[in-house]
Amino acid sequence: MGVAMLVAAACGQTAAPSAAPSVATAKPAARGQGGDLKILYWQAPTILNAHQATGTKDADASRLINEPMASFGKDGLPVANGLASEIPTPTNGGVTPDFKTVTWKLRTGVKWSDGSAFSADDVAFTYKYQCDPATAASTSTYCDGVASVVAKDPNTVVVTYKDTNPFYYQWGVGGGSLIYQAAQYKNCVGAAAKNCTADQKPIGTGPYKVDTFKPGDTVTYTLNENYRDPNKPFFKTVTFKGGGDAPGAARAAFQTGEADYAWNLQVDAGVLKPMATASTLANLVTVYGSSVERILINFSNPAASLGDKRGEPDARDPTKATHPFFSDLAVRRALAMATDRATVATQFYGDGLTGKPTCNVLTAPEPMNSKTSANFDVCKFDLAAANAELDKAGWVKGSDGVRSKGGVRLEATYQTTINAVRQKVQDVMKSNWEKIGFKITLKSVDAAVFFTNTSPDGANHFWADIEMYTNSGDPDPTSYFNGGWSCGQVASKANNWQSGNYSRYCSKDFDAIIANLKKETDQSKRNALAVQANDLLLQQVVVIPIVNRTFATSGVSKTLKGVDPTPWDSEMWNMADWSK
Amino acid sequence: MGRYITRRLIIAIPTLLAITFVVYVILALAPLDPLSQFGADPRVPPEAREAIRKSLGLDEPWYVRYVLWLGGLLRGDFGYSFMSHSPVIELIQQRLPNTLAVVGVAYIVGLVIALPVGMISAVRRNSFLDHSISTVTYAGFSVPTFFTGLVLIIVFAVKLHWLPFIYNSNLKVTDLQSLGEQLRQSIMPITVLGLFDAAIFTRYIRSEMLEHLPLDYVRTARSKGINERVVVIRHVLRNSLIPVVTLVALGIPGVFGGAIVTEQIFHVPGIGELLVRSILLGDTPVVTAVLFIFAVLVVLFNLVADVLYGVLDPRIRYS
């Protein structure tokens, strides 16, 4: 009898009319049925305008209120859960064959949370606001190469690029392209952007609107009655709390249940794993993407004795490496061969819990993840081969075990941020590298200082020989490769160390691949070019990738349904679909 | 006394100016950068960072920025936070109630505990009670607050599930039930800090009382036949409290500074947490505003302590 009732209930539910099928909810939920959703970020949001965001926390907090035209899904392709009614592609005619013009059809009848009508004019305005240089938006990179964004009619927007752009979803899709209301933001364009009070309470088309906002502390949201899907969102209110630290957040999700969603649990795997497995309250949800923890090798000479010329590329020939020993490919290859990424991944990243070993600097989207690199000799941990490489190249071990050649000793400084896991990784690397004849001095710098262009101890100045940190990219790798390793982006005094090629690597071959990548419109050829760029960097040992880290590492309550993070967009990208 | 106060207030002005100058110079020289949050993210390229820096006014040399800031300050404008684009004064106003509710209450609780305990400890000197109180107080200020905090969280929040350990700053106390909620969420941080403060005050009160107990006037009072309890409380305690009151007054600016570690562990969004985070992020307007307010409070409460001392102790006369 009971079983029959259960079966009947299940049948009844699947037969009932549901809202537009969403990603992962099991049954159609009625709007506002749920109570309060508690989200906990150990970095508190400080601003609710995604275009003025200083970090993921701000972009995520903003995503509950405002939305882009479409989001980036797990494979790096757009998903139509935003303001666009369908995704334009070359096949449906939304993208012209020269990849220069993209026509977006917007949903009709959409309202802002204050009841006014949304139209293509708001999209065109957002472009004007975001891409005005005086606004100094932190998302302004998505404006590069965009010629115009025009409202053709109230429900159609045309995005035109200056040149063929194989990444035609660059503007309008994902976390960098949230749409704001023209009426609210009209006085905040340009220099006025930095004092804009609308940033504290933006009006949006998303599932929630701001109730209270205490920057650096908590945001409380109530559901947006004007949201376009009458059956969503499920939760009546959301409390987005920030502050504290990652272990505290893990405790709140796994042990006390005070948080339904605890973000970015950067906790030692040895502590996180038992907490997650023993927990009856929450699960650890992760997704892999393009986040790679990597070791950079300095091609310039960081010797302090050079004074002003320290860390500068060669003035006459920038393709020439000037580092005393890393200019020798054999030395770089030996360093790579003595890099034990497997041990690091197993011991410190929970053996797949928060990271897996990788020898690719570009790991996603999957078609661009090189399958050939695993066979490179520089990707295999082999101390004997490393020693042989150095012997062959004439680096002789001295009585203290440190190799030298022509008076140059293999003494290197290895820097990274202050972080328990990273310090342990440094220890492992140091012990292996010293076995092959290096002398390694370890250095760790506060993250707030490491990632500035002004600090002599920072990643940009790179006044050390080896450094390590994590970086990730967009679904299209062009800006990732260009910003990281092209000749035009070499960090130096001339650009106040702001450019992204910290290694000072400059190669005509690499630049040629990037130039092709900027123009190639055939996707399979693009994939091949990306793999080629990745493999070149590996074989020249410009960078040594160690671990592919999870993009999202969050503690999610077992009763919370619909959470499905993508590595290419905010963890809040489909928050409207969540329910309990 | 009035002339003394006026003179002190006048001297305070150049003191405060000097403090703001030193703070500004240190911040300008520190390698902190509001753009460090972007890390090495290629999605915020150098041109974007340069534009942001320019829009925040960071392309001006520090002395120009100092003069601009000072000008704003004289008009009562503390500027806008780099991170949140909201007026700094609003941020401080949001944080102050939380700090006062936790750190302020802990201060008072510490005092309330310390008074009787210190008194008993002094009166029953070298007894078993005194020794155990001394041991507990030494332990109280030797054990770091992050340790006691974590122990309390593990016992009361994780294991027993009696208390929440994430502080809800939006809780408004309107009725008995919300007051109960507020007590539940703040009892752990208050206990941690209160015990720490109690330990310190207990030692002060005990040592002051020990100094007064053997004095002549006490012997006189006793020989007059006055009840021991009255002698201790009405005579000895009141006199012992004079220096203690001044120490308490001097400690009040510290309350406004928040207790950084405790705020971090219990997720209390107080001023201490705001200050530390703003320093790390290079959010200069917030840092200079908060430090300026501290400086004002310290100068002010120094004056209050000195005046109180003169008021309470008739032997002190200021010219």
Q: What is the ipTM of this complex?
A: 0.75
Q: Does A40 touch chain B (CB under 8 A)?
A: yes
Using the predicted structure, report yes or no on whether residue A5 has a pLDDT greater than 70. Answer: no
pTM higher than 0.95 for the full model? no
Indicate yes or no: CB of B267 within 8 angstroms of CB of A199. Answer: no
Alpha-carbon gap: A353 to the closest alpha carbon of chain B (Å): 24
- Mapped onto helix, strand or coil, the DSSP state of residue A533 is helix
* Token pair 């009932």 in the structure block, residue: A16
Amino acid at A446: D
Which residues are paired to A467 by β-bridges? A296, A415
Using the predicted structure, report yes or no on whether residue A137 has a pLDDT greater than 80. Answer: yes
User: How many Å apart are CA A403 and CA A238, to the nearest integer?
Assistant: 60
- A22: confidence class by pLDDT, cuts 50, 70, 90: very low
The model's pLDDT over B65-105, given as tens digits with 9 standing for 90+, comes to 888 888 888 888 888 888 888 889 988 998 888 888 899 99
* C-alpha neighbours within 13 Å on the C-beta side of residue A47: 25
Amino acid at A391: D
What pLDDT does residue A21 have? 45
Indicate yes or no: CB of A500 within 8 angstroms of CB of B165. Answer: no
User: Using an 8 Å Cβ cutoff, are A110 and A228 in contact?
Assistant: yes
User: How many Å apart are CA B105 and CA A312, to the nearest integer?
Assistant: 56
Q: Does B169 touch chain A (CB under 8 A)?
A: yes
Determine whether A109 is exposed, middle or buried from the number of CB atoms within 10 Å of its CB (0-12, 13-18, 19+): exposed
- DSSP 8-class letter at A214: E
Nearest CB to B86 within list A200, A452, A483 = A200
What pLDDT does residue A174 have? 92
Cβ atoms < 10 Å from Cβ of B228: 10
User: Using an 8 Å Cβ cutoff, are A491 and A501 in contact?
Assistant: yes
Closest chain B residue by Cα to residue A498: B46
Angle, to 10 degrees, between the axis of helix B238-256 and the axis of helix B88-99? 140
Using the predicted structure, report yes or no on whether residue A556 has a pLDDT greater than 50. Answer: yes
Q: Return mean pLDDT, chain B.
A: 85
Q: What is the DSSP string of A340-366?
A: -HHHHHHHHSTTTTSEEE---S---SG
Closest chain A residue by Cα to residue B80: A195
In chain A, % helix, strand, coil (3-state, to 5) comes to 35, 20, 45
The model's pLDDT over B8-19, given as tens digits with 9 standing for 90+, comes to 889 888 988 898
The model's pLDDT over B211-255, given as tens digits with 9 standing for 90+, comes to 988 999 899 988 998 888 888 888 888 888 888 888 888 888 888
Amino acid at B76: G
Nearby residues of A415 by Cβ (< 8 Å), 6 or more positions away: A442, A443, A444, A445, A450, A457, A459, A464, A466, A467, A468
Using the predicted structure, report yes or no on whether residue A6 has a pLDDT greater than 60. Answer: no
Q: Does A447 touch chain B (CB under 8 A)?
A: yes
Q: Does B168 touch chain A (CB under 8 A)?
A: yes
Indicate yes or no: CB of A251 within 8 angstroms of CB of B54. Answer: no
User: How many Å apart are CA A370 and CA A526, to the nearest integer?
Assistant: 13
Nearest CB to B45 within list A200, A455, A500 = A500
Closest chain A residue by Cα to residue B56: A194
Alpha-carbon gap: B159 to the closest alpha carbon of chain A (Å): 8
Q: Nearest-CA neighbor of A331 among A400, A378, A398? A: A378
What pLDDT does residue B40 have? 66
Indicate yes or no: CB of B85 within 8 angstroms of CB of A251. Answer: no
Chain A residues lying within 8 Å of B84, measured CB to CB: 46-47, 199-200, 215-216
- A-facing residues of B in 142-161 (CB < 8 A) are 153, 157-158, 161
Indicate yes or no: CB of B166 within 8 angstroms of CB of A258. Answer: yes
Using the predicted structure, report yes or no on whether residue A461 has a pLDDT greater than 70. Answer: yes
* Token pair 């290859």 in the structure block, residue: A333
Q: Does B74 touch chain A (CB under 8 A)?
A: no
The model's pLDDT over A40-93, given as tens digits with 9 standing for 90+, comes to 998 888 889 999 888 888 999 999 999 999 999 998 899 999 999 999 999 999
Angle, to 10 degrees, between the axis of helix B2-29 and the axis of helix B284-312? 150
Q: Return mean pLDDT, chain A.
A: 90
Indicate yes or no: CB of B42 within 8 angstroms of CB of A471. Answer: yes
Indicate yes or no: CB of B37 within 8 angstroms of CB of A479. Answer: no
Q: Does B59 touch chain A (CB under 8 A)?
A: no
